[in-house]
Structure 1
């Protein structure tokens, strides 16, 4: 399933990433396990909430695929216990529910992304890759970790950002937004694309959140300097170095 455009993900020590898949449908866990192993990842499965907590403690996964509806301890409760224990593993929720309220509830509880059944295996893999890259738990094997646009640099491994040698402090969301812009240097990206790639779920058309975070970035990146972030009216945003 890996392609030249999706290089293998590795942990910081160079070992394969680890993913824990939790669902009470064995056919589904077997299918997901097979797909993730094809990526070169280490995979462990669990069929109940309590089993998932024990596996997370022993396996120390880099990402968790977690079904919400389970017979003993539901996914929300599993996540709550993990967070209370100080485990901040990125979590991708699986559920048959498609209501926006359920999606928001899962994300509010501390989940990182959400996929509804039925889903494509490619989508699950893509979202897991994004979660692990975004959390800093994994990096691409053949990718240069530093992005540069003009005098601006972003280190994807250490999450350090500098402009003209001056360090810039960003929140996790600001960092991911800037990374998306820099990965698309000199390309116009729409608000819809930003919502999909940075937040990974639907804001119900509330594109104002993009405008807000673009303004945050401009204050930190461009204030008092030659602007790098540009608005293309009616289309979206673009980052490019001054001519």
Structure 2
């Protein structure tokens, strides 16, 4: 057993989803184990010593939140991430009150789950220094491996491909003007046939709105005929 790998225990009664997620996590370098029922969870925790527990809120007829609450009592240092198709605020609050560190709405991307796993297992392993793939900027952190933005409340924004490329380019040149040509190249490389001014305007607008709506402490300013600048709000 490779003890350097992050160990994930996933509990979900959706066998297709569970098997798919575990397979993707293994591809990403995790040591992942899947259970389709709550039976055997405690034994699995003792045997596997997972770094994180990913728990469905509704597992067959079982209440995943109540089960996780019992797990939390016996293993208070074990991060629990809930995944669920129940999007009500009351359910999310109940999950977090039961000991959960995060609540992810279904459907979700494996890269977003991976970003949460990395975030909270790093905290558990008492390594507060940010790894190389985490860039602190404004009130946020840009996770360049999972292409997500980690907000001040530990929630995360799953960035679309173009949003990530633009934000990464601007972050690399924080407080500097980046020309439209440089952003074009970052997005489309040498495929000049795909350069589209209106598309770039739309992508920039999305990034601006995303930064503004999530209290990132960042803003993108336009410098006519020169380009764009990412800067921290005063």
Tell whether the structures are fold-level matches, with TM greater than 0.5. Answer: yes
> SS of the residue aligned with 1:112?
strand
Aligned counterparts of 1:116 and 1:50: Cα–Cα separation in 2: 24
Aligned to 1:115: 104
The 8 Å contact of residues 139 and 152 in structure 2, kept in 1 or not, is answered as no
Deviation string 1:170-229 (CA, Å, 9 cap, x unpaired) is xxxxxxxxx9xx952xx4337xxxx95242349xxxxxxxxxxxxxxxxxxxxxxxxxxx
Say which structure, 1 or 2, has more relative contact order (CA 8 Å, 6+ apart): 1
Unpaired segments ≥5 residues, structure 1 = 1-12, 140-154, 158-178, 203-233, 238-243
Picking from 122, 131, 151, the partner of 2:120 is 131
Give the superposition deviation at 1:134. 2.3
8 Å CA contact retained: 1:65, 1:94: yes
1:34 alignment partner in structure 2: 23
Does residue 53 (structure 1) correspond to residue 42 (structure 2)? The answer is yes
Q: Is the CA contact 1:49–1:74 (under 8 Å) kept in the aligned structure 2?
A: no
User: Which of 70, 81, 90 in structure 2 is aligned with 1:81?
Assistant: 70
Q: Which runs of 5+ in 2 are unaligned?
A: 141-148, 157-214, 219-234
Measure how far apart 1:235 and its partner are: 7.8
**SS class of match (1:49):** coil
* Aligned partners of 1:136 and 1:156 also within 8 Å: no
Deviations along 1:110-143, one digit per CA (max 9) or x if unpaired, are 1000111111111111111111112226x6xxxx
Describe the SS at the equivalent of 2:58.
coil
Which is strand-richer, 1 or 2? 2
One of 142, 147, 151 as aligned partner of 1:197 = 151
Secondary structure of 2:151's counterpart equals: helix
CA RMSD of aligned residues (A): 3.1
Which residue is equivalent to 1:166? none
SS at structure 2 position matched to 1:24: coil
**CA contact 2:66–2:98 (8 Å) conserved in 1:** no
Q: Detail structure 1 runs of 4+ shifted over 6 Å in the superposition.
A: none
Distance 1:116 1:71 in 2: 18
Q: Aligned in 2, Cα 1:87/1:108: closer, same or farther, shift over 3 Å?
A: closer
**Based on CA coordinates, which of the two structures has the bigger radius of gyration?**
2
Note the C-alpha offset of 1:89.
0.9
* Correspondence for 1:63: 52
Q: Which residue of structure 2 aligns with residue 213 of structure 1?
A: none
- Out of 8, 11, 29, the residue aligned to residue 22 of structure 1 is 11
Q: Does the 8 A contact of 1:52 with 1:78 survive in 2? A: no
